[in-house]
Chains A and B, each alone.
Chain A
Amino acid sequence: MAITDLTLVQTIKALKDKQFSNEELNQAYLNRIKRYNPELNAFFEVNESSGVIPAAVKSLISTKGLKTSAGSKIIENYKPPFNATVIENLISEGVSVIGKTNQDEFAMGSSGENSAFGSTKNPWDLKKVPGGSSSGSAAAVAADLAVFALGTDTGGSIRQPASLSGVVGLKPSYGRVSRYGAIAMASSLDQIGPFAKSVGDARLILEWISGGDKYDSNCVAEKFKIQNSKFKITDQNLKDVRVGVPEEYFGQGLDEGVKEVIEKAIKKMEELGAEIVEVSLPNTKYGVAVYYIIMASEVSSNLARFDGIRLGGPRDLFGDEPKRRIMLGTFALSSGYFEDYFIKAAKVRTLIKKDFEKAFASCDVIVGPVSPTVAWNLGEKIDDPLKMYLSDAYTIPASLAGIPGLSLPAGFSENLPVGLQILGKYMDEETVLNVGEVLEKALNIKEKPRLR
């Protein structure tokens, strides 16, 4: 087994057992990056001097002295004078940044194609998109170019590329992980989370990066601790776990092949002892509309600081998608429209949150597809923004509700990976991860992308 095949947990053990050194570990990953990054375009910048456990970090997460362009020409050469809180946390755990990863510009996109510096390719099929916006982070972990990666999820930007690229991706609860230093897209939705080779890895990374931070007033949660909840991780079953299945996540637009994989995974959970419960999330249909009003409104304000005065170039360097969202958000906040758009969307957001609260009264986790389709061809949806927006219909509601969501590789359709989404109650990452880990073992998916 190659060094780069090891999970984070295995890597730490191997380092402890002195099976290989830090230098060997880093060299192994740097070699793979050198070999495969030119065609994958997962990294914008590689940090050859990283040194300890090498993690890939989404471009928009501030790294002192390393370019943090957020995939945009407007701050193409921006090097922050400070580290994001998550980076400081990782450094103190013996992790270093091996490189900054490609992404859709300012995290706006579901395919990686909105990057100002070229798309990332899907390691499973170079003609396909890897998903987005954390495209490079997903591809880097899928192709074993890093032990793990950090991304951000605003409406699905960790879960969706994790699903399309066949890796584990976790969006923590809003407020679990400090956002300080992550260049904001939509402040009330953004959340940093891990891409990992296993659920156990994601759990460990969450423990490292979580916890209250005085620099993020919305991050008041306690540090996530690896611990045993009502059932033990070592129990290889899902006895006493109630799994909610929302009918709204299996309607029109869901690919047959994806549906099959998800249904098989749910069947597996039942075999493992879980009780399958039908639940309803009736306001799911409004999710995309609500999201595009609230997110765009916050975007229009958050991107105002890129005014070309203190850092970066003039505003015409923004790509089409940021421009589109600035326009949408500016409109939604304008006098005369604010009540009808922003305020109404905020009210429906509350209804969506209540949907989940009601559903979770009868179940412990909610499962369904992450994405209605597998990875699509590069260029396929780039001229149809609305079609692109709709591909996030299953991930957006959890973002609006602030609850945690995991994308777990569950199988394949058309030879491309399909992720199962496991949603949990607010701040209950523990149950989500435990259920994910038991299912991960039972599904036992060993396939890796074949790179040449």
Chain B
Amino acid sequence: MSIYKPVIGLEVHVELNTKSKMFCSCSADYFGKAPNTHTCPVCLGLPGALPYANKEAIRKCIQIGLALNCTISEDSLFERKNYFYPDLAKGFQISQLRWPLCVGGEIEVESDFGEKSLIRINRVHQEEDTGKLSHLGGVTLIDFNRSGVPLVEIVTEPDFTDSSQIRDYAKKLQQIFRYLGVSNADMEKGDMRLEANVSVREVKSEEGRGTDFELPNYRVELKNINSFRFIVAAVEFEIKRQINALEAGEKLHQETRGWDEDKKETYLQRSKEEANDYRYFPEPDLPGIKNQELRIKEIQDGLPELPSARIKKYIDQYGISKTTAETLVADESLAELFDGAVKLGLEENVPVKEVANYLVNSPTLASHLKGGKLNISPDEIVQAVKEKKSGKIEDEGELEKIAQEVISENEKSVNDYKSGKESAIMALVGGVMRKTSGKANAIRVKQILERLLL
């Protein structure tokens, strides 16, 4: 029996959260709005209308590229991708193919087995979204509110070998988008969409671990799958289906497949013979994009500290565990809160590790990770840690030792207590508190004293 290895590449579309659309000044906030209210001649593709590019979107696309360690192209062009579809107002989509804004990046992913690998990013480019079709009974309605909303597409090399890497990659991208503040990256609302190209190859025994192997001569595109969970399921199904087919001696073909959630299997949507020739060519209505070094540097300098760098800093400098570090960078507001508390804590001699542990175990964080607000300030965190610290002498043995000392030094109070004057014990408690500089819990001290004086 042969050994097969999956070869998977991903295409991620992310909708930017700019105020206006990519090529006109209509509002890009279309979610839940009355159909066809955010439209104009440009995004409706009316005859004679021309596009004008949204500079903020281009800036955000470059931010994503930089966050993924891409090179930003000095000269970039918009291009037209020509195809007919009812949701495509102009009969072409303004996109990029030969002259993308960002090329050649990489990102580290980790599989469920803890194996780390680098995924190469082929390109990050700018394009526009299409309108939205709703099929209602016998009719199809078109809503152009989404038409022209800025989309960024991130295309990887076929470097994934299992579905847990895909999950990690998507999670990391989502985190980056949110840190950069370029998108809400909400999968459920369609802010972020995934497509996978899946094939499997037979592994030869002499092969090394690199990416230096021949790609299979086919690939299956998993498309139009609007849930993250489903795409992972579809990839897993595909890998099994393809291996079984190859084992049975079948030849696999280039095709597009969808996901049937009821049957839990992929199904054929389009074979290669029906594939589109998109006839890309430079968009003549838009001038080229010149990215000068200075501008790129200015964008680079304005980037926030990204999750991967933060995790590394937390582990290396603060000595926090990897799991804790990962929890603390889950989103930027949390990481910012932590950083704020750390800074404040240093001024008041509160160790970073204690701040981290407090935050990770706090109930507000648990609720925040489920979507709730982070209703705690850095100062409150530091004070809470300090309070906890002030009651820190919890070691029973140590407290008992101090209590014994106080008992032997205060014969009068002991006798008073033993003769029935219960309040006399408070003088002993006060003695213990003085000796511990207040770092003991008075109630517990009292309990210990009562036990010792029985």
Residue numbers of A with Cβ under 8 A of B are 60-62, 68, 70, 75, 78, 80-82, 84, 179-184, 186-188, 214-218, 297-298, 300-301, 303-307, 309-311, 330, 333-335, 338, 342
Are A305 and B277 touching (Cβ within 8 A)? no
Are A182 and B48 touching (Cβ within 8 A)? yes
Are B91 and A304 touching (Cβ within 8 A)? yes
Are A333 and B82 touching (Cβ within 8 A)? yes
Q: How far apart sit A60 and B48, CA to CA, in the bound complex (Å)?
A: 8
Are B287 and A218 touching (Cβ within 8 A)? yes
Identify A62's interface contact among B44, B47, B86, CB under 8 A.
B47
Are B86 and A309 touching (Cβ within 8 A)? yes
Q: Which residues does chain A contribute within 8 Å of B319, judged by CB atoms?
A: none
Are B47 and A75 touching (Cβ within 8 A)? yes
CB distance from A330 to the nearest CB of B (A): 7
Q: How far apart sit A61 and B279, CA to CA, in the bound complex (Å)?
A: 28
Q: Which residues does chain A contribute within 8 Å of B45, judged by CB atoms?
A: 305, 310
Within 38-94 of B, Cβ neighbours of A (below 8 Å) are at 41, 44-53, 80, 82, 84, 86, 89-92
Q: Which residues does chain A contribute within 8 Å of B142, judged by CB atoms?
A: 309-310
Q: A217-B52, A305-B89, A305-B90 are in contact. Are A68 and B47 (CB under 8 A)?
A: yes
Q: How far apart sit A227 and B281, CA to CA, in the bound complex (Å)?
A: 40
Are A304 and B41 touching (Cβ within 8 A)? no
Q: A68-B47, A217-B52, A310-B45 are in contact. Are A304 and B84 (CB under 8 A)?
A: yes
Q: Which residues does chain A contribute within 8 Å of B46, judged by CB atoms?
A: 80-82, 311
| 20 A-B residue pairings within 8 Å (CB atoms) | A60-B47, A62-B47, A80-B47, A82-B46, A184-B47, A184-B50, A187-B285, A216-B52, A216-B285, A217-B50, A217-B287, A297-B281, A301-B281, A306-B47, A310-B44, A333-B279, A334-B277, A334-B279, A335-B279, A338-B279
B315 within 8 A of A: no
Identify B48's interface contact among A62, A301, A303, A306, CB under 8 A.
A62
Are A301 and B82 touching (Cβ within 8 A)? yes
B420 within 8 A of A: no
CB distance from B386 to the nearest CB of A (A): 57
Q: How far apart sit A153 and B7, CA to CA, in the bound complex (Å)?
A: 52
Q: A307-B84, A333-B82, A338-B281 are in contact. Are A183 and B47 (CB under 8 A)?
A: yes
Nearest 6 pairs of A and B residues by beta carbon: A304-B91, A333-B279, A188-B284, A187-B284, A183-B47, A181-B48
CB distance from A312 to the nearest CB of B (A): 9
B286 within 8 A of A: yes
Q: How far apart sit A216 and B23, CA to CA, in the bound complex (Å)?
A: 11
Chain B CB within 10 Å, residue with most, of A216, A303, A304: A304
Q: How far apart sit A311 and B41, CA to CA, in the bound complex (Å)?
A: 12
Q: Which residues does chain A contribute within 8 Å of B280, judged by CB atoms?
A: 333, 338
CB distance from A297 to the nearest CB of B (A): 6
Residue ID in chain B nearest A342 by CB atoms:
B281
Q: A187-B284, A310-B45, A310-B89 are in contact. Are A301 and B279 (CB under 8 A)?
A: yes
Identify A301's interface contact among B51, B53, B80, CB under 8 A.
B80
The interface size bin for chain B is 20 to 34
Residue numbers of B with Cβ under 8 A of A are 41, 44-53, 80, 82, 84, 86, 89-92, 142, 277, 279-281, 284-287
Q: Which residues does chain B contribute within 8 Å of A75, judged by CB atoms?
A: 47
Secondary structure call for the B interface: loop
Q: How far apart sit A179 and B91, CA to CA, in the bound complex (Å)?
A: 20
Are B92 and A217 touching (Cβ within 8 A)? no
Identify B90's interface contact among A182, A217, A218, A304, CB under 8 A.
A304
Residue ID in chain A nearest B278 by CB atoms:
A335
Q: A187-B284, A187-B285, A301-B279 are in contact. Are A215 and B91 (CB under 8 A)?
A: no
Q: How far apart sit A217 and B285, CA to CA, in the bound complex (Å)?
A: 7
Q: Which residues does chain A contribute within 8 Å of B86, judged by CB atoms?
A: 307, 309
Q: Which residues does chain B contribute within 8 Å of A80, judged by CB atoms?
A: 41, 46-48
Other A-B pairs, 12, CB within 8 Å; known A82-B41, A179-B50, A217-B286: A180-B48, A217-B287, A218-B287, A301-B281, A303-B91, A305-B91, A307-B84, A307-B86, A310-B142, A333-B281, A335-B279, A338-B281
Identify B279's interface contact among A62, A182, A187, A330, CB under 8 A.
A330
Are B41 and A216 touching (Cβ within 8 A)? no
Q: How far apart sit A309 and B279, CA to CA, in the bound complex (Å)?
A: 22
Are A81 and B41 touching (Cβ within 8 A)? yes
Q: Which residues does chain A contribute within 8 Å of B279, judged by CB atoms?
A: 300-301, 330, 333-335, 338
CB distance from A217 to the nearest CB of B (A): 5
Q: How far apart sit A70 and B52, CA to CA, in the bound complex (Å)?
A: 24
Are B50 and A216 touching (Cβ within 8 A)? yes
Are B53 and A180 touching (Cβ within 8 A)? no
Q: How far apart sit A216 and B285, CA to CA, in the bound complex (Å)?
A: 8
Q: Which residues does chain A contribute within 8 Å of B80, judged by CB atoms?
A: 301
Identify A214's interface contact among B52, B82, B92, B287, CB under 8 A.
B52
Q: Which residues does chain A contribute within 8 Å of B286, judged by CB atoms?
A: 217-218
Q: How far apart sit A338 and B98, CA to CA, in the bound complex (Å)?
A: 13
CB distance from A78 to the nearest CB of B (A): 7
Are A215 and B50 touching (Cβ within 8 A)? yes
CB distance from B333 to the nearest CB of A (A): 36
Chain B CB within 10 Å, residue with most, of A61, A297, A301, A334: A301
Q: How far apart sit A198 and B265, CA to CA, in the bound complex (Å)?
A: 73
Q: How far apart sit A311 and B48, CA to CA, in the bound complex (Å)?
A: 13
Are B277 and A335 touching (Cβ within 8 A)? yes
Are B284 and A305 touching (Cβ within 8 A)? no
Q: Which residues does chain A contribute within 8 Å of B44, judged by CB atoms?
A: 310
Q: How far apart sit A101 and B47, CA to CA, in the bound complex (Å)?
A: 17
Are A305 and B287 touching (Cβ within 8 A)? no
Q: How far apart sit A353 and B405, CA to CA, in the bound complex (Å)?
A: 101
Residue ID in chain B nearest A189 by CB atoms:
B284
Q: Which residues does chain A contribute within 8 Å of B48, judged by CB atoms?
A: 60-62, 68, 80, 84, 179-184
Q: How far apart sit A230 and B293, CA to CA, in the bound complex (Å)?
A: 40
CB distance from B272 to the nearest CB of A (A): 13
CB distance from B41 to the nearest CB of A (A): 5
Q: Which residues does chain B contribute within 8 Å of A182, judged by CB atoms?
A: 48
